[in-house]
Structure 1
Amino acid sequence: MAATAAEMISGKLEAEVELHCSPAKFYDMVKNSVHDLPSHSPTHVQAVQVHEGDWDAHGTVKFWIYTCEGKLEVFKERVEYDDAKKTVKLNGLEGDVMKLYKV
């Protein structure tokens, strides 16, 4: 039996995004203000909730409710912050995106 494309995809997913602010300001927003995202983009993100931990703590588990191609979806992630490098690593735990990508 042949594997589907979703079954064959595994590894690391990276994206490059053009920002209209400084990298430091974006990092600060992701780490300290992501809970405000639904008020800035309610058609795309309906809620971001802390499931375990604190908003800006390394290892916090967050639960997202968002819209993708007109469909309401969910995503649960564990977040890792590196303040020295100003990087954020999102480890997917469960949710609709897992139907497309292996972790």
Structure 2
Amino acid sequence: MSLLHGKLEAYVGIRVAADLFHDIFSGRPHHISDMAPEKIKACAVHEGDWGKPGTVINWDYCHDGVAKVAKEVIEDIDDVNLSTTFKVIEGDLMKEYKNFKLVVQATPQSGGEWSLVHWTLEYEKLNEEIPEPFSLLQFVVHTSKDIDDHHTKKK
């Protein structure tokens, strides 16, 4: 891999069932704005249908205190391994990256009592001066925790 290509990964434990977490990202990402409203402002279908590979979605989000947008295509939904792959095709990330892909996978742990979420960011920077997207990795991890808190807070 050249200095322009990179891959970052993070794991986060959550109390939400893996299949529910997967369903949120694969078929209902527009609900995330209700679960993490400080981060995700809106998510809407641009083309296609929720829960289908090939669907293009628009995200409005706040990252590092700045309002940003992204247009992504859902490249893959793996209901067996509970993973969803998004490829960014337009938006603020494309100002710094030639290619950017996010993969989120949830794996049940301890008989389903909790889940391990694995985030993978794969990217190609436009030039060597572009920083690694560590803060974006933190952003998706913290969004996972917000989803967890939303589903597990005591009513």
Normalising to structure 2: TM-score of the pair? 0.56
Question: Tell me, what secondary structure is at the counterpart of 1:18?
Answer: strand
Which residue in 1 is equivalent to 2:94?
98
Identity over aligned pairs, percent: 36
Instruction: Tell me if structure 1 keeps the 8 A contact 2:41–2:60.
Output: yes
Of 28, 43, 61, which aligns to 2:56? 61
Which residue in 2 is equivalent to 1:84?
80
Runs of at least 5 residues in structure 1 that lack an aligned partner in the other structure: 1-7
1:61-83 deviation line (CA, Å, top 9, x unaligned): 11100001111000111112111
Instruction: Tell me if structure 2 keeps the 8 A contact 1:77–1:93.
Output: yes
Q: Quick check: 31-40 or 41-50, which moved more?
A: 31-40
> Which 4+ runs in 1 deviate beyond 6 A?
none
How many angstroms apart in 2 are the aligned matches of 1:77 and 1:28?
A: 17
Of 10, 13, 16, which aligns to 1:18? 13
How many angstroms apart in 2 are the aligned matches of 1:53 and 1:15?
A: 30
Letter aligned with residue 29 of structure 1: I
How many angstroms apart in 2 are the aligned matches of 1:14 and 1:101?
A: 17
Runs of at least 5 residues in structure 2 that lack an aligned partner in the other structure: 100-155
Letter aligned with residue 59 of structure 2: W
Higher strand share: 2
How many angstroms apart in 1 are the aligned matches of 2:33 and 2:11?
A: 22
When the two chains are superposed, the root-mean-square deviation of aligned CA atoms in Å is 1.7
